A and B are shown apart, each in its own frame.
Chain A
Amino acid sequence: MTAALELANLSVRRGAAAVLADVDLSLAPGEIVALLGPSGAGKSTIVRVALGLMAPTTGTVAIDGRLASSGSRVLVPPEERGMGVVFQDLALWPHLTVRDNLAFALHGRRLGREETAARISSLLDDLGIAALDRRYPGALSGGERQRVAIARALVGDPTAILLDEPLANLDLVLKTELLGVFQRVLRRGRTSTLYVTHDPREAAVLADRVAVLETGRITHLGSPTAIARDPRTPFARAIASELVSTLSATDGRAHE
Chain B
Amino acid sequence: MSGSRWQEPVITAVASAAILVVCFAPLAALAVDAASAASTANVSLWRLTQLFASTVVTAGAVTLVALGIGIPLGVLLARTDLPGRRAALILHAFPLFVPPFLLALGWFHLARADGALGSVLAAAALFGRAGLIAVLGLALTPAATALTMLGVDGIDPALEEAARTVARPAVVVRRILLPLARPALALAGLVVFALAFSEIGVPMFLRVRTYPAAVLARLGGIAYAPGEAFLLVLPLLGLALVLAIIERRFGGLRTLSALGVRTDRPRWPLGRWRWPVAIACWLVVAAGVAPFAAVAAEALASDRLGEAVTPAIPSVWNSLRVAAITATVVTAGGLVLARALVNRGRASRAVDALAALAFITPAAALGTGVTIVWNRPTTGFIYTAPMILVVGLAGRYAVLGIRPLAAVLSRTPPHIDDAARAAGASYLRRLGRIVVPMHRRAIVASWMLVAVFALRDLETVILFYPAGEEPLMVRIFTLEANGPPAVIATLALLQVGLTALTLAAGVALLGRRR
Q: Which of A22-30, A77-85, A124-132, A198-206 contacts B (4 or more CB under 8 A)?
A: A77-85
The 10 lowest CB-CB distance pairs between A and B, nearest first, are A91-B158, A91-B162, A87-B158, A78-B164, A105-B166, A107-B167, A78-B165, A95-B179, A91-B159, A79-B167
Contacts A89-B156, A104-B167, A107-B167 aside, 9 further interface pairs with beta carbons under 8 A come to A48-B161, A54-B266, A79-B164, A79-B167, A81-B165, A87-B158, A91-B161, A104-B166, A108-B171
Residues of A62-85 at the interface with B, using a CB-CB cut-off of 8 Å, are 74, 77-79, 81, 83-85
Q: Provide 28 A-B residue pairs closer than 8 Å at the C-beta atoms, listed in order of the A residue.
A: A48-B161, A51-B161, A51-B165, A53-B161, A53-B164, A53-B165, A54-B266, A74-B269, A78-B161, A85-B161, A85-B165, A88-B158, A89-B156, A90-B158, A91-B159, A91-B161, A93-B162, A93-B163, A93-B180, A94-B180, A104-B163, A104-B166, A104-B175, A107-B166, A108-B167, A108-B171, A152-B162, A156-B166
A25 → chain B closest CB, angstroms: 19
Chain B residues in 8 Å Cβ range of A106: 166
A234 → chain B closest CB, angstroms: 32
Contact between B180 and A83, CB atoms less than 8 A apart: no
A114 → chain B closest CB, angstroms: 20
Interface string of B238-275 (1 = CB under 8 A from A): 00000000000000000000000000001001000000
> Size of chain B's interface in residues, with CB distance under 8 A?
19
A136 → chain B closest CB, angstroms: 12
Contact between B162 and A87, CB atoms less than 8 A apart: yes
A158 → chain B closest CB, angstroms: 9
B182 → chain A closest CB, angstroms: 8
Q: Write the chain B residue with the least CB distance to A81.
A: B165
Residues of B152-206 at the interface with A, using a CB-CB cut-off of 8 Å, are 156, 158-159, 161-168, 171, 175-176, 179-180, 182
Residues of B103-125 at the interface with A, using a CB-CB cut-off of 8 Å, are none
B254 → chain A closest CB, angstroms: 12
Chain B residues in 8 Å Cβ range of A74: 269
Specify the main secondary structure of chain B where it touches its partner.
Answer: helix
B169 → chain A closest CB, angstroms: 8
Docked CA distance A85–B164 (Å): 11
Contact between B266 and A107, CB atoms less than 8 A apart: no
Q: Provided the pairs A53-B266, A91-B156 are in contact, do residues A108 and B180 lie with their beta carbons within 8 angstroms?
A: no
Q: Write the chain A residue with the least CB distance to B265.
A: A53
Contact between A107 and B161, CB atoms less than 8 A apart: no
Interface string of A29-58 (1 = CB under 8 A from B): 000000000000000000010010110000
Docked CA distance A119–B500 (Å): 58
Chain A residues in 8 Å Cβ range of B164: 51, 53, 77-79
Chain B residues in 8 Å Cβ range of A94: 159, 180
Docked CA distance A43–B469 (Å): 64
Chain B residues in 8 Å Cβ range of A81: 165
Docked CA distance A41–B171 (Å): 33
Chain A residues in 8 Å Cβ range of B162: 85, 87, 91, 93, 152
Contact between A79 and B156, CB atoms less than 8 A apart: no
Q: Write the chain A residue with the least CB distance to B166.
A: A105
Docked CA distance A93–B92 (Å): 32
A192 → chain B closest CB, angstroms: 15
Chain B residues in 8 Å Cβ range of A79: 164-168
Chain A residues in 8 Å Cβ range of B161: 48, 51, 53, 78, 85, 87, 91
Docked CA distance A20–B166 (Å): 26
Contact between A89 and B158, CB atoms less than 8 A apart: yes
B158 → chain A closest CB, angstroms: 4
Chain B residues in 8 Å Cβ range of A107: 166-167, 171, 175
Chain B residues in 8 Å Cβ range of A87: 158, 161-162
Contact between B156 and A95, CB atoms less than 8 A apart: no
Chain B residues in 8 Å Cβ range of A54: 266
Docked CA distance A105–B171 (Å): 11
Chain B residues in 8 Å Cβ range of A51: 161, 164-165
